[in-house]
A = this chain, B = another copy of it.
Amino acid sequence: MMRKVKPYLTTRKLHPENQESPIHFLRSLSTPANYFYRRNHFSYPELSQSSLWIQIGGLVSSPTFLHFDDLLAMPAKSLVVPLECAGNKRAHFSPKVHGEQWEEGAISQGKWTGVPLRYILDRAGVLQNAKEVVFEGADFGKKEDVDKVIPFKRSLPLEKAMHPDTLIAYKYNDQPLSFKHGYPFRLIVPNWYAMASVKWLRKIKVIPGAFEGPFQTNDYVFYPRKKDDIGKKPVTLLNVNSAIQQPLDYSILDTGTYKIKGIAWTGEGNITSIQLSFDNGETWVNANAEQNADSPYSWVNWSYDWKADKKGEYTIQSKATDSAGRTQPLKAYWNRKGYGYNAVSKIHVKIE
């Protein structure tokens, strides 16, 4: 007789599969693989023997193929890195924005192990006029606004590709990558929104100019205006952000003391403070943050003991600030495709 109670992913779409992590019910610094959010542009790819190879080409002096076993033999590095979908929290935009209605769970985090991309590019010999590196996944299909079958492709500026923490990962939480999260290889790009962390990585190509694929120049672009493209700019670094995990929005509680719990994260530097307000932003108090000195990219778990001894309705807000001086704004930067939502987080509770 099964009485175990466990949270589930929240289904946003089945084909392709898009499911949200039950972020409010997980408190670990490592999201278990089965609770990692799933975000796909296409159907899952078929794997074959050739999937175990990565092709390195373009502007390199030694174009080559690397086998899974080759990578295992190279110097490896492990990093705790959160991946966040650029559309995380899209459901919160006002005016509403079309697209997958992610609430707060299109983010997950764990320990990625792999080979620094730099090591592989150095071995291949990047030529002088290189500007960007293009990454191609094994997943492909028809995109609404493109009239042919295309693979998922994204590029990085050479500098980011050469950053020592940009990895070709083959392990997650000390286990081989699961198929749904990119087995055998997933690019891991710390600090960037997760469209950059290409799954089922198959090809790496160094190019002399700006890559113009539709996932680079059409999707994953901020369009601040509804009707035209004036002011557009590409989605890259994670915004500073936070989420209140417990209590849940619109919950009803007895009087008592409650631990308000949440996470905070950023794509520039690290989190320097998490402040909470219980009076609609008039005053703010500091939450207790558990810094992880040895995991510079990790989100921060925070908490605050709240004495709720007066009945009534309360709004609780959380606001994170990072070492680059960025703070969650009161109102999110609205954009037509609904990326990068990071307004101050807010829940409503009723004390009875």
Q: Which of A1-30 contact B (CB under 8 A)?
A: 1-3, 5-15, 17, 19, 22, 24-25
Q: A248 on the interface (CB 8 Å rule)?
A: yes
Q: Which of A30-47 contact B (CB under 8 A)?
A: 44, 47
Chain B residue nearest to A337 (CB atoms) is B252
Instruction: Name the B residues within 8 Å of A352 (CB-CB).
Output: 144-145
Q: A203 on the interface (CB 8 Å rule)?
A: no
Q: A348 on the interface (CB 8 Å rule)?
A: yes
Q: A313 on the interface (CB 8 Å rule)?
A: yes
Instruction: Name the B residues within 8 Å of A5 (CB-CB).
Output: 14-15, 17, 44
Q: A205 on the interface (CB 8 Å rule)?
A: no
Task: Report A89 CB to chain B, min CB distance, Å.
Answer: 14
**B17 and A180 form a contact (CB under 8 A):** no
Kindly identify which residue among B7, B12, B44, B250 contacts A14, using a CB–CB cutoff of 8 Å: B7
Q: How far is the CA of A8 from the CA of B9 in the complex (A)?
A: 6
Q: Is the interface of A mostly helix, strand, loop or mixed?
A: loop
Q: A212 on the interface (CB 8 Å rule)?
A: no
**A250 and B101 form a contact (CB under 8 A):** yes
Q: A325 on the interface (CB 8 Å rule)?
A: no
Q: How far is the CA of A5 from the CA of B250 in the complex (A)?
A: 31
Most buried by B among A5, A47, A348: A5
Task: Report A338 CB to chain B, min CB distance, Å.
Answer: 9
Q: A249 on the interface (CB 8 Å rule)?
A: yes
Q: Which stretch in A91-99, A112-120, A263-271, A293-301 binds the other chain?
A: A91-99
Q: A8-B10, A145-B352 are in contact. Are A180 and B99 (CB under 8 A)?
A: no
**B248 and A13 form a contact (CB under 8 A):** yes
Q: A251 on the interface (CB 8 Å rule)?
A: yes
Q: How far is the CA of A313 from the CA of B98 in the complex (A)?
A: 9
**A252 and B144 form a contact (CB under 8 A):** yes
Chain B residue nearest to A5 (CB atoms) is B17
Chain B residue nearest to A13 (CB atoms) is B248
**A99 and B250 form a contact (CB under 8 A):** yes
Q: How far is the CA of A254 from the CA of B141 in the complex (A)?
A: 14
Chain B residue nearest to A101 (CB atoms) is B250
Q: A68 on the interface (CB 8 Å rule)?
A: no
Kindly identify which residue among B2, B11, B17, B350 contacts A10, using a CB–CB cutoff of 8 Å: B11
**A180 and B98 form a contact (CB under 8 A):** no
**B1 and A47 form a contact (CB under 8 A):** yes
Given contacts A7-B14, A99-B250, A99-B251, 7 further A-B contacts (CB under 8 A): A2-B178, A11-B22, A96-B348, A98-B250, A98-B252, A98-B313, A144-B253
- Nearest 6 A-B pairs (CB), nearest first? A8-B8, A98-B350, A7-B11, A1-B179, A5-B17, A10-B10
Q: List A residues at the B interface (Cβ < 8 Å).
A: 1-3, 5-15, 17, 19, 22, 24-25, 44, 47, 96-99, 101, 144-145, 178-180, 183, 248-254, 313, 348-350, 352
